[in-house]
């Protein structure tokens, strides 16, 4: 890994998996830029870019068990990528965590060990 690249983690301190992911990065000698995405949600452009880096569609990064998912009818197949991303930006609680971003690459740290694939 190129050590000049910033490591960013979308983090929720209340989430055990997110805390484990952050700890894993620190144990590997990295000091990531921690973004508390519930307080500062990503923009639609940023989320779109990260989804592309993850190789995921919006629903794959959504917490489908989150009550908001059902409340807003987000399982509706008629909803397109733009609409789903807009829902995630407006309600960052829907975003699965932790997401670790290094340069043009990203990984969802579930399980947290998946983060190690970015470090090799």
> Out of 3, 6, 15, 35, which one is annotated catalytic?
15
How far apart (Å, rounded) are the C-alpha atoms in residues 10 and 102? 12
Give the CATH H-level superfamily of domain 7-119: Glutaredoxin (3.40.30.10)
Asked about 15 being catalytic, the answer comes back as yes
Name the CA radius of gyration of the chain, rounded.
14
How far apart (Å, rounded) are the C-alpha atoms in residues 61 and 63? 7
Instruction: Give the mean model confidence (pLDDT) for residues 77-91.
Output: 98
| Dihedral sign (CA 79, 80, 83, 86) | positive
pLDDT above 60 for 2? no
The pLDDT value given to residue 1: 47
Instruction: Give the mean model confidence (pLDDT) for residues 64-84.
Output: 97
Give the up-direction half-sphere exposure of residue 50: CA atoms within 13 A in the CB hemisphere. 26
């Amino acid at each position: 890994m190129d050590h000049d690249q910033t490591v960013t983690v979308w983090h929720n301190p209340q989430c055990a998996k997110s805390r484990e992911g952050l700890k894993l990065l620190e144990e590997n000698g990295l000091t990531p830029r921690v973004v508390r995405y519930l307080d500062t949600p990503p923009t639609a452009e940023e989320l779109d870019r990260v989804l592309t880096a993850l190789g995921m569609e919006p629903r794959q990064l959504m917490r489908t068990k989150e009550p908001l998912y059902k409340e807003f009818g987000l399982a509706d197949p008629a909803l397109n990528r733009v609409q789903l991303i807009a829902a995630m930006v407006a309600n960052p609680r829907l975003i699965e965590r932790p997401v670790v971003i290094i340069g043009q690459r990203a990984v969802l740290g579930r399980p947290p060990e998946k983060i190690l694939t970015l470090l090799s």
